[in-house]
Structure 1
């Protein structure tokens, strides 16, 4: 299961070897925090999967991992089952949007807030068990 790490300047999506294989991707996904425009929690992540699978694996309503081509660019999708997910709209970088299943969506959003109650040192923590089993 992927781990999400929130740092002062970036969000890192550390993929497991199996997820990297399914996504046909050799590297983890790294997004600069300045590029995150909005974050949304959804109970049905499948309605957020858009476009055509460019590189990755999909079994509808079971798993979707990889890059999806859209009219505006591309999205990175890591959705498993009907778990809650976070949708991050991005303004720059490799992807236009990330759709990530996570059992700790609210915690991830709190850690991404700019000027939140948490100290910067606490922000360098991981949101473990990002995508469940």
Structure 2
């Protein structure tokens, strides 16, 4: 599972080697906090998927990793499992319009993103 780091100025999603291979991506995701327009927790991340996979990997209702293109831009998905909560991050003015990440720590991630940037440690907070 990807490691999530919340810094005062950015959200970092560090992908495992397998996730990078499935997503056909070399770099981790870095999202400036100023670009995040909304954050939500969902118990069913599959209903949030829009567009077609390009490039990435998918097994219906089991795994979706990579880029999904739709008429308004691109989304990045890292969804695993049928019964796992996910965080939906809407972004403005960046490579992706939306990032959906399944994580057992969804509530903690949303809480950390809602905290004022001045209250976070300079080296960030690891969401485990």
TM-score normalised per structure 1: 0.91
Match of 1:79 in 2: 79
CA–CA distance in 1 between the matches of 2:71 and 2:123?
A: 34
Shift of 1:121: 1.2
Gaps of 5+ in 1: 129-133
Match of 2:111 in 1: 110
Q: Is the 8 A contact 1:85 1:101 kept in 2?
A: yes
Q: Is the 8 A contact 1:10 1:31 kept in 2?
A: yes
Shift of 1:123: 7.8
Cα distance per residue 1:79-133 (max 9 Å; x no partner): 00121000001012110000110101110011001438x82218811112xxxxx
Match of 1:101 in 2: 102
Cα distance per residue 1:19-45 (max 9 Å; x no partner): 000000000011000000001100000
Count the aligned residue pairs: 127
TM-score normalised per structure 2: 0.94
SS of the counterpart of 1:121? coil
4+ residue runs over 2 A deviation: none
